[in-house]
Amino acid sequence: MKEILQRIHAESKHASAHGSVASYIPALASARPEALGLAAVTAEGKIFAVGDARTRFTIQSISKVFALAYVMTELGEDAVFSRVGKEPTGDPFNSIIRLETSAGRKPFNPLINAGAIVVSGLMPGFSPEDKGARFRAFVGQLIGRKDVERDEAVYLSEKGTAARNRSIAWFLKELDLLPGEVEETLDVYFRQCAVSVDAVDLARAAAVLCLDGIDPVRGERVLEARTARVCKSLMVTCGMYDGSGEFAVDVGIPAKSGVGGGIMAAVRDRMGLGVYGPALDDRGNSAAGLDALRRLSEELDLRVL
Ligand code: GLU
């Protein structure tokens, strides 16, 4: 497995030249565009890591899967899906347009910003700090690490520049979908997006999803099976932004990407994969990461769709 990852790492590295690092959150612009890390955690609990797999980066949109799993665990499925749909949009992740034009006037799914902000608004806790800390503890359970941190520079950078997300949140407030204060809810959302992980962490969480809630490294259940399945289903249809359909056809694995350059992919019963490559294509997905996942899927016959 390690040799395969090493070879694919060498083959996919050049694909970073087809992308560029996100800069709409200013602090993200300092990432090394040529970085590429690949990690796998198998169903037997073996961990493989190559290249920049131990480089930390912010989880960004991948947090939306963990936040969904967290709120489903704490409050139940209905708490989320009475306020957010389960349908793909085909629009960019931060689009606001359908909130006004769709008949249901609720976000289409929890993996676009509008849906994710509603989910952040449901997180239990006394303050944004407390909610953020509890969320990080939950992520720590999934990835087997107690010291999950937030990248303070990225958090403050997003908080200081998020006009689009503020617009979305105020619109959600007007639709009566945010129980708390707008700025506090956004604070929780920025905190969750700024959680710092590496590709191995993503592979580890993906392995939990691939085994319907069992962590293969510790051999323990850390998530309800139903929760893991809901997350994976939404990852198939909505996980790769408006590139989800193409990814399903080309790679055929439930996956979620983030603008920090991460992708997590869960191969049913076989392995979790984590990728880091901060140069993004025009849909916001890691360019080298996509290339590597295409090659891995082909080489190891990982397609589950
Ligand atoms: N914090 C980012 C935002 O809301 C997350 C976006 C992403 O990774 O897609 O813009």
Instruction: Look at residue 89 in the predicted model and tell me its pLDDT.
Output: 80
pLDDT band at 74 (very low <50, low <70, confident <90, very high): very high
* Average pLDDT estimate for 178-193: 97
* CB of 60 closer than 6 angstroms to any ligand 1 atom: yes
How large is the greatest C-alpha to C-alpha distance in the chain, in angstroms?
53
* CB of 261 closer than 6 angstroms to any ligand 1 atom: no
Domains 2-60+196-300 and 61-193 share a fold: yes
Instruction: Look at residue 103 in the predicted model and tell me its pLDDT.
Output: 65
Q: Return the CATH fold of 61-193.
A: Beta-lactamase (3.40.710)
**Segment 234-269, tens digit of pLDDT:** 999 999 988 999 999 999 999 999 999 999 999 999
Atom of ligand 1 nearest to the CA of 193: 1
Instruction: Look at residue 58 in the predicted model and tell me its pLDDT.
Output: 98
Decide which of 116 and 100 is more confident: 116
* CB of 262 closer than 6 angstroms to any ligand 1 atom: no
* Average pLDDT estimate for 198-207: 98
Nearest-CA residue for ligand 1 atom 4 is 113
Q: What is the CATH number of domain 2-60+196-300?
A: 3.40.710.10
* Average pLDDT estimate for 267-284: 96
**Segment 19-65, tens digit of pLDDT:** 999 999 999 999 999 999 999 999 999 999 999 999 999 999 999 99
- pLDDT at position 105 over 90: no
219 CA distance to ligand 1 middle (Å) = 32
* Average pLDDT estimate for 273-294: 96
Instruction: Look at residue 159 in the predicted model and tell me its pLDDT.
Output: 96
Residues tagged active-site:
61, 64, 189, 241, 259
Provide the residue ranges of all domains of the chain, joining segments of one domain with +.
2-60+196-300, 61-193
- pLDDT at position 99 over 90: no
CA–CA separation, 236 and 243 (whole Å): 11
| Mean pLDDT for the chain overall | 95
* CB of 61 closer than 6 angstroms to any ligand 1 atom: yes
Q: Mutation test of ligand 1: which of 119, 158, 280 has the most ligand atoms closer than 8 Å to its C-beta?
A: 158
Q: Which residues contact 30 (CB under 8 A, 6 or more apart)?
A: none
- pLDDT at position 230 over 80: yes
Instruction: Look at residue 96 in the predicted model and tell me its pLDDT.
Output: 75
